[in-house]
């Protein structure tokens, strides 16, 4: 099957003068879960090309087996350096979508019309969409067929207020994801800070934080398997 992974192109952490982008673990872990299951992966971002890496996710204490594997995987690094432009993506090419997080999506993908259209089209076509950590922010403007917020009444999770406070960015981010998902009417739930937690509601899969990356990708695999069985 063909899986699309959508990464942020935003690299500025608000007005702090510091850098942000995508979180390495949240890309690498799902990338290998999906690749090792035999799926073909296409990478895209709003601007195309190399998406910005959050420098904090590249520090030693943030490394995992998946991130270390990525750093020695020349083919994967070359693929990441040449992501397709999101606006050129044809949703019909893909069987499922995965959005890694990092703080970058709060600024660009949360407001991106191409991303909104991609998610709405994919769900309408019966294809699963998974998002982890801050990536559920991209659901902010996505609507259901009746025009209501997509997340209204649906089980969702995402980076918590407590976790945002723990990383010291409560007053930097454009909005707090937990509050926003609740404002939109989502049936929001969470585990303890930085513990793995995934919610699946039909074709919509959300993970709470970086440690949820593997589980969110596994949930996407399960949804794809069920999709094949039902076909």
**Residue 230: pLDDT over 80:** no
Strands (E), the chain: 2-6, 40-45, 84-85, 96-99, 129-132, 155-156, 187-188, 198-201, 204-207
Band (157; pLDDT cuts 50, 70, 90): very high
**For residue 227, what pLDDT is reported?**
72
Q: Which helix (H) or strand (E) holds 104?
A: none
Quick: pLDDT tens for 103-117.
Answer: 999 999 999 999 999
The CATH number of whichever domain residue 45 belongs to comes to 3.40.50.880
**For residue 231, what pLDDT is reported?**
58
Decide: 43 and 80 in contact? Cβ < 8 Å: yes
Quick: pLDDT tens for 33-60.
Answer: 999 999 999 999 999 999 999 999 999 9
The number of folded domains in the chain is 1
**For residue 226, what pLDDT is reported?**
80
**113-122 mean pLDDT:** 97
**For residue 29, what pLDDT is reported?**
98
The range of the structural domain enclosing residue 34 comes to 2-230
**176-184 mean pLDDT:** 98
Helix axes 24-36, 213-230, angle to 10 degrees: 30
**For residue 193, what pLDDT is reported?**
97
Decide: 167 and 57 in contact? Cβ < 8 Å: no
Q: Which of 111, 165, 121, 120 is nearest to 141 (CA)?
A: 111
């Amino acid at each position: 099957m063909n899986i699309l992974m959508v990464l942020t192109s935003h690299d500025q952490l608000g007005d702090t003068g510091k850098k942000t982008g995508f979180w390495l673990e949240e890309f690498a872990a799902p990338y290998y879960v999906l690749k090792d299951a035999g799926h073909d992966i296409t990478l895209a971002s709003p601007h195309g090309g190399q998406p910005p890496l959050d420098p904090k996710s590249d520090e030693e204490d943030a490394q995992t087996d998946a991130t270390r594997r990525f750093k020695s995987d020349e083919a994967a690094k070359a693929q990441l350096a040449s992501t397709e432009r999101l606006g050129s993506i044809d949703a019909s090419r893909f069987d499922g979508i995965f959005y890694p997080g990092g703080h970058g999506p709060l600024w660009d993908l949360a407001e991106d019309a191409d991303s909104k259209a991609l998610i709405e089209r994919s769900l309408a076509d019966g294809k699963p969409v998974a998002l982890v950590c801050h990536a559920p922010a991209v659901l902010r403007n996505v609507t259901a067929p009746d025009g209501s917020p997509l997340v209204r009444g649906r089980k969702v999770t995402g980076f918590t207020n407590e976790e945002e406070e723990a990383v010291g960015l409560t007053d930097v981010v454009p909005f707090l994801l937990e509050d926003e998902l609740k404002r939109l009417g989502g049936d929001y739930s969470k585990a303890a800070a930085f513990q793995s937690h995934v919610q699946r509601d039909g074709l919509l899969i959300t993970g709470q934080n970086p440690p949820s990356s593997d589980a969110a990708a596994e949930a996407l695999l399960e949804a794809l398997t069920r999709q094949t069985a039902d076909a």
